[in-house]
Structure 1
């Protein structure tokens, strides 16, 4: 079991072993924590941008793709919950053209009300990031848009373990007013650990988590997540108009993700003595 404690704050310890990074404004549109919804579309999409980073989400389904890290963690999650053939991926990465076709086809076949509930506008879909996966209970006649993924059995085991492997159930029941999408128990989004566990434990949507992190700015107190001897430090850095500078301890593992809104989320891994 992974246990964690968060909600604490502390100042970053600064020493002389720093390196300075310069982040371009356009980099706020990249990373595992980008927020993609009706208010925040994908930006600067290049037709071949994702191709070299995408791999099959499941070796049995070569046409269903995810970014490499998300695909690898999905494989580990499937093993951990002993999924076997009980659940399968249905839809992963979609190009702009594929999302446009899905949206138009759904309008024609299902009407506006259904489509606006369950199908994102082109360039407003998480599936275009390579970080989202729709899962289904393996049975006959799987619905591509609304596959069955119940809150019981192997599907529920997958759902309960997902946050430990970097995934969240993205569109929760009762949160439609925040996400803009109806409840989708089959749609999972990779955001990376420990963000997934914090989001799950606090009951946040991704929208709420992005706002929550703004309460932990670079120049203020940072969010601290503890897992045994490991300390993970998280904070928000507002992007400047052109370039944003940041100093990071050179020997400390870190990740930087844009939020697709207005800045960056910095995640730093420390040991218990850090």
Structure 2
């Protein structure tokens, strides 16, 4: 028994050392100013306004399990694809009574909602995540999301598909928004997993990156290396698979998928 425990502890220490090790940074990339305001990790809130409109909107698929999808809803194409994968996975375990109510909104529509419902129920144009094409409101046809099977399943599994509950309970002081179990935001992997594991909202995650500058994480057999920088030139690992996102402020986040 003691021998088994020693072996397990040794494996854990080796694994933690592997994850903490910085890979060789041998590839040079240049970052463009316009990228500061684009990507899956841009911060949009009451203080920070959207700077770039989405460019690759796709219609949300209507053939998603028993989900009811309001007509003509749009999301960024990679987000729409991730949403469909998530809904299909939920259906496999018998969770299939979602209602997709809202996705991309134009600035004009957002302002109309703000003027009609007021600041208690809507944000002014330029300050709503719905204008990014990265956020979607998902309800349940069986009741309120915070009490339904659909809401519980999303809260537990959305991060596996690159999504987060953007305004969780207990984080109102950080986000400035009351608990909204229906408001789902795409940030992509591995960011959604890191935020879920640490119980962070997007504001907290971006602050972490600004302080630490880099971290490594392994998810489902894939290893990711995440870097934050304010500079236009950066050294990253030697990999053909990397993604750049701005923060909508003064920083870039580069996510590299390491080769085995």
* TM norm. shorter chain > 0.5: yes
1:258 alignment partner in structure 2: 246
After TM superposition, the score normalised by the length of structure 2 is: 0.83
Q: How far 1:228 moved relative to its partner?
A: 5.1
CA contact (8 A) 1:78 1:158 kept: no
Question: Residue 34 of structure 2: which of 22, 26, 29 is its match?
Answer: 26
Secondary structure at the counterpart of residue 158 of structure 1? helix
CA contact (8 A) 1:42 1:260 kept: yes
Q: How far 1:97 moved relative to its partner?
A: 0.2
Q: Deviations over 1:13-45 (max 9, x none)?
A: 034xx3x432222321100001111121112x4
1:55 alignment partner in structure 2: 58
Secondary structure at the counterpart of residue 72 of structure 2? strand
Q: How far 1:158 moved relative to its partner?
A: 2.8
1:89 alignment partner in structure 2: 100
1:226 alignment partner in structure 2: 218
Aligned CA RMSD, in angstroms, stands at: 2.3
Secondary structure at the counterpart of residue 112 of structure 2? helix
Q: How far 1:92 moved relative to its partner?
A: 0.3
Q: Deviations over 1:164-202 (max 9, x none)?
A: 000000001121111011111110000001110111111
Q: How far 1:160 moved relative to its partner?
A: 1.5
Question: Residue 131 of structure 2: which of 120, 128, 133 is its match?
Answer: 128
Aligned pair in 2 of structure 1 residues 235, 248: CA closer, same or farther (>3 Å)? Answer: closer
Larger helix share, 1 or 2: 2
Question: Residue 110 of structure 2: which of 95, 99, 102 is its match?
Answer: 99
CA contact (8 A) 2:96 2:150 kept: no
1:67 alignment partner in structure 2: 76
> How many residues are paired up?
237
1:143 alignment partner in structure 2: none
Secondary structure at the counterpart of residue 90 of structure 1? strand
CA contact (8 A) 1:6 1:226 kept: no
Structure with higher RCO (Cα < 8 A, 6+ apart): 1
Residues in 2 aligned to 1:154 and 1:132: alpha-carbon distance in whole angstroms = 17
Q: Does 1:208 align with 2:204?
A: yes
Larger strand share, 1 or 2: 1
After TM superposition, the score normalised by the length of structure 1 is: 0.79
Q: How far 1:154 moved relative to its partner?
A: 2.7
Residues in 1 aligned to 2:50 and 2:137: alpha-carbon distance in whole angstroms = 19
Q: Deviations over 1:92-130 (max 9, x none)?
A: 0001001000000002xxxxxxx33x3122101100000
1:10 alignment partner in structure 2: 21
Question: Residue 159 of structure 1: which of 152, 155, 158 is its match?
Answer: 155
Alignment of 1:231-246 (within 5 A): 231-239=223-231, 244-246=232-234
2:5 alignment partner in structure 1: none
Residues in 2 aligned to 1:10 and 1:214: alpha-carbon distance in whole angstroms = 19
Secondary structure at the counterpart of residue 58 of structure 1? coil
Aligned pair in 2 of structure 1 residues 158, 173: CA closer, same or farther (>3 Å)? Answer: closer
Runs of 5+ consecutive residues of structure 2 not aligned to the other structure = 1-14, 63-68
CA contact (8 A) 2:135 2:184 kept: yes
Aligned pair in 2 of structure 1 residues 208, 216: CA closer, same or farther (>3 Å)? Answer: same
